[in-house]
Structure 1
Amino acid sequence: MEEEAKGGVKNVLLAKFKEGTSESQIDQLIQGYANLVNLIDPMKSFHWGNELSIEKQLEGYTHVFETTFQSVEGVAEYTAHPAHLDFANLFLPNLEQLSFSSTADQQVITKKNPSEIQVMMMELLPDPKDQS
């Protein structure tokens, strides 16, 4: 049985696109990210915006992405979903830097670079040996 998180599980991704990534490319990547909510059932919402901190405390990040999932298990399903994996293979190479936080029931996980995020994603996936 899935453990429902009160209010769902929120993922926040702070990103800075690589220099030379055109606005058109960025728009296409954002549209692709937004479309995942239509392809992956446990993904309940997607919001994004440009980073607007007056204090400029976000270390050069330019974009903020927020996704909501119904449960921790839903995040694992999203992480392993082929549509997400295909999108990540397009999205991540265009980023100069990123930081990722996930919160459910007041537990926060924070990661600061693509390889840490990929390791975390693999940790969330069920062990194939347990599937038999």
Structure 2
Amino acid sequence: MIRHILFITFTDSALPEQIQVVRQEFLKISGQIEGITSVEWGVNDSPEEKNAGFTHCVLMTFVDEAARQRYLPHPAHDDLKAVFRPVLRDIIVLDYTLNP
């Protein structure tokens, strides 16, 4: 399995409704692309204040490398980027493989 983690901060002009659309697009993508087993969306609520300005997080799980490779060029991923990029200020993407 592969975990795909996004740390996100939105532009100051991003409206709550726009962020909600981004959230909805992320959450529905597992039903659109084979091999994505789960998608989680979260808003930072850590009291440690170590988030470096990142306010939101997405955690996706792929069953294997083939699933990740299907996701990257998939039209549903392109649709997600179309609503995501206009309100995105910054992002960190980190993937790792779960070893048995």
Give the CA deviation at 1:45: 0.4
Residue 69 (1) aligns with residue 55 (2): no
TM-score norm. by structure 1 comes to 0.71
Q: Distance in 2 between matches of 1:86 and 1:74?
A: 18
Residue 23 (1) aligns with residue 16 (2): yes
SS in 2 for 1:54: coil
Q: Bigger radius of gyration, 1 or 2?
A: 1
Q: Gaps (5+ residues) in structure 1? A: 1-7, 107-132
2:69 maps to a residue whose letter is A
Of structures 1 and 2, the one scoring higher in RCO (CA 8 A, sep 6+) is: 2
SS in 1 for 2:57: strand
Residue 57 (1) aligns with residue 50 (2): yes
Give the CA deviation at 1:65: 0.5
SS in 2 for 1:11: strand
1:108-123 aligned within 5 A: none
Q: Gaps (5+ residues) in structure 2? A: none
SS in 2 for 1:56: coil
Return structure 1 stretches of 4+ with deviation > 4 angstroms.
none
**Bigger proportion of residues as helix:** 1
Q: What percent of counterpart residues are identical?
A: 25
2:54 maps to a residue whose letter is Y
Q: Distance in 2 between matches of 1:36 and 1:84?
A: 8
TM-score norm. by structure 2 comes to 0.92
Residue 99 (1) aligns with residue 87 (2): no
| Matching residue of 1:43 | 36
1:9-50, Cα deviation, whole Å (9 max, x unpaired)? 001100011111111111111001111111101111000111
1:66-93, Cα deviation, whole Å (9 max, x unpaired)? 0000001210111111111121122123
